[in-house]
């Protein structure tokens, strides 16, 4: 369904050009759940934004191809891509409270998504049809019920700050699903929520994936969640994808030293009683990257060529690949 | 219940107004330069002792302070602001006569300022760091620092004297006949179909309104811009775009509503300050409004008039702030106490 | 003997006897070192920020003008030579004795402008200084200790805020009469309220932070906490506000002088100069224009400096 090739997003800064997304490529098959994992600042959120053409100023998408159902999204005009946003590809964000507009009622915000893409089932269309009137209201209520918001008839008249965190996120999912998109981009949807609520939201997303066959790209820094929830994983570091493959395989038999390092250092992945081995060093400055593998300064098996030349993709089996010189 | 809160807030202004009245009264009575009778004597020359006594009685100046205060407050409750010394007329009536002129000017300035400032603020934020942005911020910076009276003088110098596009003073041209219905020249000329008067009134209004609006325009433009910049960075704006909304809708509906919330407060405070700016602008442009009345009264030591006018100003300011608070409460759904 | 210096406490381990004086000397040397570091950092920042730099330089220029007025002014600002009434500026009349021309009684305009800077700066700086000290002091106390003082002051400030600024100043001047000290009083009377509200708000916010709790637990007295812990954290916004208010007060003073409610008529003040020139606008435009320019540039410079300071001192700098 989605083929991303050589995507690159740059930000001009005083220190130099910051390569937030640096030659990223991956594929997503129909109805698949792909996890995009990595530490904070490694470019995963920016990748999602680039897919939708929403890279914030002063960043720019400078290279690459995003093939969605045949079309290259990066080549579309603004008008054309607007038709895709919300309708074919939808996005949900990390902090639900700041994602909902605080001055509009929740029901209104859901109805707006429907209205824009002419998905309203009523005859009364146009800017001023309010969700409080009949058929629109029905539709919104149905949506809210589908995502599990209790008492939707009252709730749709309320404002975002009157909802709890979990319900806010559900409302955002309702907005995202309102036009039945084929692809859902989820940027750390559970990070700002309590653990119990996290599980509920993830269940909801899984349900959506199974019932509607919606593809999901889940961005998270929590490997455990990704391992549990996603079918395939892509591990990102410093703006590049380091490893990609089936989730189970990546977790149990990691190919890339970074992935290995992560698995050794995260408390929820290391068996109880075993020592935690942190990865030495710091995340590099994305504006001053060295040539070669970005992980090389911290890698325990790095060699000369690792530091000098960007590593190639090496596939060990169909669907499992990593960018590492040590695999050749 | 929001309305209960609004009512409560409104009622709270009453003690403030009373406080203001008392403060004004005390100030006038307790300051050394303030014996009105002496000053009146200065105007009139030699007067007999009996005359002095009579005047003192008329103005209640022979009674103890608290009694004077009582008279003052009771008069105030009946909307009686006393008599002007220099003009020998009730203060209330004098002010009322001049009020429409001031209101008209203030309203025009307000609208003009907003009409310029808000779009510029929005555009500057949307096209950040563009030429428009830098230019408008630079100009607005100038606008902030300009003394109002000087701007007025320069405008007169340039546009009235040198170019002759606008008249130099006054509210309407001398020979134009206008029937007075509301006291607002623009309205009256429209109502009576008097296009010559309308045009003349507009021409006279333009420069003063521009002068008065300049500072407010600058402040509001900057405020709108910075507000919008912050709002445009927010997630809900990105979500609005991600929903597929057209950019115009994103900016004007989603972003603007939020950006206007803090702006409203600033605008209201500025609008309140218009009453003060009135004095200067009205003096520079010879505008027959309350502001100029006050300035003349001050220079002539006409204390009842000054007192009355200052109180009116203060009351209006309080009311404006109250309305700003109410407006803010209405716009911002988070305030629903 | 071993010193482990910090700004407010000095830990000494010694096995000899050190006199108290020695201790003090060391303390002060350390404090001076830290101070001069701060000054160096600040100057560096100001130079790097064009807004602050230009603003600051212009302001210093004005201050120099005010201080050196007797030396700089080519002629007397008080006595006019009636034969030079309304003389045109040098580039028009060719007479370079009066570079900017003369006013309506023959006084050299340039000299008057130079001397006028004294009034504006003295009034502005004193009024701001007074408002700053009073407002901050009251704000600190009210915000920290709250209670009856706080409510009383809040009522008072509400009352004062009920008047628009200029109206209030005009009113006060009308009541107590013209004059330099009266002018300062009039401006400060309401000026302190802004500082009070800012400081009080910030103190209330800072009070809940952990470092205050930590200081209290370590036995610091309330006053010490106020002045040595909280105040430094409030300083940046205070300084910025002071600068911006200075600009506003300079313009207000000019406006008051313009209306005839400023200093005594004999003292040259820019506002009254503009007013005097109004009658001659058609024939001698320079009498009003140049003083007005002087006001404008000073206000502009002060505003620029304040904006630049805000950029420097505000930790929430612009995003790259």
What per-residue confidence (pLDDT) applies to B38?
58
- Residue B36, chain C, CB below 8 Å: the answer is no
- Residue B331, chain A, CB below 8 Å: the answer is yes
Question: Is C9's pLDDT higher than 60?
Answer: no
What per-residue confidence (pLDDT) applies to B31?
60
Give the closest of B161, B298, B317 to C261, CB-based. B298
Per-residue pLDDT band for A159 (boundaries 50, 70, 90) equals confident
Give chain C's mean pLDDT: 79
Q: Does the beta-carbon distance from B27 to C171 stay under 8 Å?
A: yes
Q: Looking at chain C, which subunits does it touch, using at least 3 CB pairs closer than 8 Å as the criterion?
A: A, B
Q: What is the pLDDT of residues C92-141, one digit of tens each?
A: 777 777 777 777 777 888 888 888 888 888 888 999 999 999 888 888 88
**Nearest residue in A to C320, CA atom:** A13
Of A278 and A174, the structure prediction assigns the larger pLDDT to A174
Give the closest of C159, C255, C289 to B148, CB-based. C255
**Nearest residue in A to B233, CA atom:** A56
Query: Which alpha helices (H) appear in C97-108, and where do they start and end?
Result: none
Residues in chain A with CB shorter than 8 Å from the CB of C320 are 11, 13-14
What per-residue confidence (pLDDT) applies to A206?
87
**Of the listed ranges A90-99, A246-255, B94-103, B295-304, the one predicted with least confidence:** B295-304
pLDDT average, residue stretch B297-301: 77
Residues in chain C with CB shorter than 8 Å from the CB of A14 are 320
Question: Is B107's pLDDT higher than 80?
Answer: yes
- Residue B294, chain C, CB below 8 Å: the answer is yes
Q: Does the beta-carbon distance from B279 to C166 stay under 8 Å?
A: yes
Question: Is B159's pLDDT higher than 70?
Answer: yes
What angle, 0 to 180 degrees and rounded to 10, lies between the N-to-C axes of helices C20-48 and C50-67? Answer: 110
Element (H or E) spanning B310, and its range? helix B303-331
- Residue B141, chain C, CB below 8 Å: the answer is yes
What per-residue confidence (pLDDT) applies to A134?
67
**Of the listed ranges A251-260, A289-298, B191-200, the one predicted with least confidence:** B191-200
Per-residue pLDDT band for A131 (boundaries 50, 70, 90) equals low
- Residue C320, chain A, CB below 8 Å: the answer is yes
Per-residue pLDDT band for C79 (boundaries 50, 70, 90) equals confident
What per-residue confidence (pLDDT) applies to C3?
47
* Strand A89-92 with A240-246, pairing: unpaired
What per-residue confidence (pLDDT) applies to B254?
83
Question: Is C243's pLDDT higher than 70?
Answer: yes
Q: Does the beta-carbon distance from B234 to A98 stay under 8 Å?
A: yes
* Four-residue CA torsion sign, B293, B294, B298, B299: negative
Q: What is the pLDDT of residues C265-307, one digit of tens each?
A: 778 888 888 888 888 877 777 888 888 888 889 998 998 888 8
Could you say which DSSP state residue B165 is in? S
What per-residue confidence (pLDDT) applies to C4?
46
Give the closest of A52, A94, A117 to B242, CB-based. A52
CA distance B316 to B17: 10
Question: Is B47's pLDDT higher than 60?
Answer: no
Question: Is B2's pLDDT higher than 80?
Answer: no
Q: Looking at chain B, which subunits does it touch, using at least 3 CB pairs closer than 8 Å as the criterion?
A: A, C
Per-residue pLDDT band for B234 (boundaries 50, 70, 90) equals confident
Q: What is the pLDDT of residues A100-117, one digit of tens each?
A: 888 888 888 888 888 777
What per-residue confidence (pLDDT) applies to B40?
55
Cβ under 8 Å to C: B residues 76-115: none
Kindly tell me the burial class for residue A200, based on how many C-beta atoms sit within 10 Å of its own C-beta (0-12, 13-18, 19 or more).
Answer: middle
Please give the full DSSP string across C236-296, using - where no structure is assigned: HHHHHHHHHHHHHHHHHHHHHHHTT-SS-TTS--HHHHHHHHGGGTTT-THHHHHHHHHHH
The answer to whether A257 touches A300, Cβ cutoff 8 Å, is: yes
Question: Is A193's pLDDT higher than 60?
Answer: yes
Per-residue pLDDT band for C10 (boundaries 50, 70, 90) equals very low
What per-residue confidence (pLDDT) applies to B177?
65
Q: What is the pLDDT of residues B237-281, one digit of tens each?
A: 888 888 878 888 778 888 888 888 888 877 877 777 776 667 888
Q: What is the pLDDT of residues A10-62, one digit of tens each?
A: 888 877 788 888 888 888 888 889 988 888 777 788 888 888 888 887 888 88
* ipTM of the prediction greater than 0.85, yes or no: no
* Four-residue CA torsion sign, C213, C219, C223, C229: negative
- Residue B241, chain A, CB below 8 Å: the answer is yes
pLDDT average, residue stretch A283-295: 78
Per-residue pLDDT band for B201 (boundaries 50, 70, 90) equals confident
Q: What is the pLDDT of residues B280-291, one digit of tens each?
A: 888 888 888 888
Q: What is the pLDDT of residues B117-131, one digit of tens each?
A: 888 888 888 887 788
Question: Is A287's pLDDT higher than 70?
Answer: yes
Give the closest of A82, A91, A102 to B258, CB-based. A102
What per-residue confidence (pLDDT) applies to C2?
47
Taking the CA of residue A189 and the nearest CA in chain B, the distance in Å comes to: 13
Per-residue pLDDT band for B60 (boundaries 50, 70, 90) equals low
The answer to whether A117 touches B244, Cβ cutoff 8 Å, is: yes
What per-residue confidence (pLDDT) applies to B176?
64
Question: Is C248's pLDDT higher than 80?
Answer: yes
- Residue A103, chain B, CB below 8 Å: the answer is yes
Per-residue pLDDT band for C317 (boundaries 50, 70, 90) equals very low
Q: Looking at chain A, which subunits does it touch, using at least 3 CB pairs closer than 8 Å as the criterion?
A: B, C
In C126-145, which positions are buried (b, 16+ CB within 10 angstroms) versus exposed (e)?
bbbebbbebbbebbbbbbbe
Please give the full DSSP string across A180-200, using - where no structure is assigned: --SEEEEESTTTTS-HHHHHH
What per-residue confidence (pLDDT) applies to C15?
43
Q: What is the pLDDT of residues B166-199, one digit of tens each?
A: 777 777 766 666 666 666 777 777 777 777 777 7
CA distance C252 to B294: 17
Residues in chain C with CB shorter than 8 Å from the CB of B225 are none
* Residue of A113, A177, A166, A111 lying closest to A138 (CA atoms): A111
Residues in chain C with CB shorter than 8 Å from the CB of B276 are 164-167, 170
Residues in chain C with CB shorter than 8 Å from the CB of A11 are 320
Question: Is B28's pLDDT higher than 50?
Answer: yes
Residues in chain C with CB shorter than 8 Å from the CB of B31 are 175-176
Residues in chain C with CB shorter than 8 Å from the CB of B277 are 166
Q: Does the beta-carbon distance from C171 to B24 stay under 8 Å?
A: yes
What per-residue confidence (pLDDT) applies to A243?
87
Q: Does the beta-carbon distance from C171 to B161 stay under 8 Å?
A: no
The residues on A that touch C, with CB distances below 8 Å, are 11, 13-14
Give chain B's mean pLDDT: 77
In C190-215, which positions are buried (b, 16+ CB within 10 angstroms) versus exposed (e)?
bbbbbbbbbbbebbeebeeeeebeeb
Q: Does the beta-carbon distance from A85 to B242 stay under 8 Å?
A: yes
The pair of three-digit structure tokens given for residue C295, joined into one six-digit string = 């006001």
Per-residue pLDDT band for A125 (boundaries 50, 70, 90) equals very low
Give chain A's mean pLDDT: 81
What per-residue confidence (pLDDT) applies to B337?
37
């Amino acid at each position: 369904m989605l083929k991303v090739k050589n995507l690159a997003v740059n930000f001009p800064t005083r220190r130099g050009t910051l390569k937030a997304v640096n030659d990223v490529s991956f594929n997503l098959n129909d109805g698949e759940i792909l996890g995009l994992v990595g530490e904070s600042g490694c470019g995963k959120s920016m990748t999602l934004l680039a897919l939708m053409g929403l890279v914030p100023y002063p960043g720019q998408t400078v290279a690459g191809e995003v093939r969605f159902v045949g079309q290259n999204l990066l080549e579309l005009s603004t008008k054309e891509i607007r038709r895709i946003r919300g309708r074919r590809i939808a996005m949900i964000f990390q902090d639900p409270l700041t994602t909902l507009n605080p001055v509009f009622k929740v029901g209104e915000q859901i109805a707006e998504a429907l209205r824009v893409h002419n998905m309203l089932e009523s005859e009364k269309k146009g800017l001023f049809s309010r969700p409080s009137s009949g058929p629109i209201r029905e539709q919104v209520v149905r949506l809210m019920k589908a995502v599990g918001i209790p008492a939707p008839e009252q709730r749709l008249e309320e404002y975002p700050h009157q909802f709890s965190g979990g319900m806010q996120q559900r409302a955002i999912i309702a907005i995202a699903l309102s036009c039945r998109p084929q692809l859902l981009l989820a940027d750390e949807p559970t990070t700002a929520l309590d653990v119990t609520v996290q599980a509920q939201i993830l269940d909801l997303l899984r349900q959506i994936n199974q019932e509607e066959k919606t593809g999901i790209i889940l961005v998270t820094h929590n490997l455990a969640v990704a391992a549990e929830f996603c079918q395939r994983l892509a591990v990102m570091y410093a703006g590049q994808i380091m490893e990609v493959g089936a989730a189970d395989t990546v977790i149990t038999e990691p190919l890339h030293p970074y992935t290995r390092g992560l698995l050794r250092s995260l408390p929820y992945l290391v068996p109880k009683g075993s020592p935690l081995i942190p990865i030495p060093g710091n995340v590099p400055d994305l504006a001053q990257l060295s040539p070669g593998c970005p992980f090389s300064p911290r890698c325990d098996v790095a060699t000369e060529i690792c530091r000098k030349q960007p590593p190639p993709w090496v596939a060990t089996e169909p669907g499992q690949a990593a960018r590492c010189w040590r695999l050749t | 219940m929001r309305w209960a809160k609004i009512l409560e807030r409104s009622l709270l202004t009453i003690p403030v107004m009373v406080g203001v009245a008392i403060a004004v009264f005390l100030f006038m009575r307790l300051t050394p330069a303030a014996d009105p009778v002496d000053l009146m004597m200065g105007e009139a020359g030699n007067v007999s002792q009996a005359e002095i006594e009579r005047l003192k009685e008329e103005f209640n100046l022979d009674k103890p302070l608290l009694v004077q205060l009582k008279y003052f407050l009771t008069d105030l409750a009946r909307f009686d602001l006393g008599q002007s010394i220099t003009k020998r007329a009730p203060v209330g009536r004098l002010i009322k006569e001049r009020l429409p002129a001031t209101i008209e000017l203030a309203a025009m300035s307000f609208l003009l300022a907003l009409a310029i400032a808000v779009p510029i603020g929005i555009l500057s934020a949307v096209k950040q760091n563009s030429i428009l942005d830098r230019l408008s911020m630079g100009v607005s910076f100038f606008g902030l620092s300009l003394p109002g009276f000087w701007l007025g003088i320069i405008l007169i110098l340039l546009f009235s004297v040198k170019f002759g596009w606008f008249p130099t003073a006054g509210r309407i041209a001398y020979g134009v006949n206008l029937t007075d219905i509301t006291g607002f020249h623009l309205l009256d000329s429209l109502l009576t179909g008097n296009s010559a008067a309308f045009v003349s009134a507009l021409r006279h209004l333009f420069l003063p309104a521009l002068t008065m609006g300049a500072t407010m325009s600058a402040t509001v433009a900057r405020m709108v811009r910075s507000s919008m910049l912050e709002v445009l960075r927010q997630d809900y704006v990105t979500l609005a775009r991600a929903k597929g909304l057209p950019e115009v809708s994103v900016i004007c509906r989603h972003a603007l509503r939020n950006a206007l919330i803090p702006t409203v407060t600033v605008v209201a405070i500025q609008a309140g300050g218009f009453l003060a700016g009135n004095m200067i602008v009205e003096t520079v442009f010879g505008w027959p409004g309350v502001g100029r009345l006050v300035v003349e009264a001050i220079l002539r030591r006409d204390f009842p008039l000054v007192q009355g006018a200052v109180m009116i100003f203060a009351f209006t300011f309080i009311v404006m702030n109250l309305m700003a608070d109410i407006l803010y409460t209405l716009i911002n759904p988070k305030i629903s106490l | 003997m071993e010193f482990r210096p910090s700004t407010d406490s000095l830990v000494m381990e010694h096995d000899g006897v050190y006199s108290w004086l020695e201790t003090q000397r060391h303390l002060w040397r350390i404090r001076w070192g830290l101070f001069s570091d701060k000054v160096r950092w600040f100057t560096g920042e100001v130079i790097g920020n064009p807004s602050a730099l230009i603003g600051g330089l212009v302001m210093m220029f004005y201050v120099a003008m005010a201080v050196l007025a007797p030396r700089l002014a080519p002629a007397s600002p008080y006595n006019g030579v009636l034969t030079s009434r309304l003389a045109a500026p040098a580039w028009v009349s060719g007479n370079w004795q009066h570079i900017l021309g003369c006013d309506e009684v023959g006084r050299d305009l340039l000299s008057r402008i130079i001397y006028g800077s004294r009034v504006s700066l003295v009034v502005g700086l004193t009024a701001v200084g007074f408002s700053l000290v009073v407002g901050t002091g009251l704000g600190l106390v009210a915000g920290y200790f709250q209670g009856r003082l706080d409510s009383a002051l809040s009522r008072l400030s509400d009352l004062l805020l009920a008047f628009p600024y200029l109206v209030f100043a005009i009113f006060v001047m009308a009541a107590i009469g013209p004059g330099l000290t009266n002018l300062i009083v009039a401006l400060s009377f309401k000026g302190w309220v802004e500082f009070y509200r800012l400081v009080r708000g910030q103190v209330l916010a800072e009070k809940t932070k952990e470092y205050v709790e930590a200081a209290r637990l370590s036995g610091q007295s309330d006053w010490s906490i106020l002045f040595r812990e909280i105040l430094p954290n409030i300083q940046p916004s205070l300084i910025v506000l002071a600068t911006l208010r200075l600009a506003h007060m300079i313009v207000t003073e000019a406006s008051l002088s313009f209306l005839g409610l400023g200093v005594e008529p004999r003292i040259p003040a820019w506002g009254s100069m503009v007013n005097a020139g109004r009658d001659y606008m058609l024939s001698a435009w320079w009498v009003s224009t140049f003083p007005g320019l002087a006001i404008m540039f000073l206000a502009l410079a002060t505003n620029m400096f304040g904006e630049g300071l805000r950029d420097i001192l505000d930790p929430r700098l612009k995003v790259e």
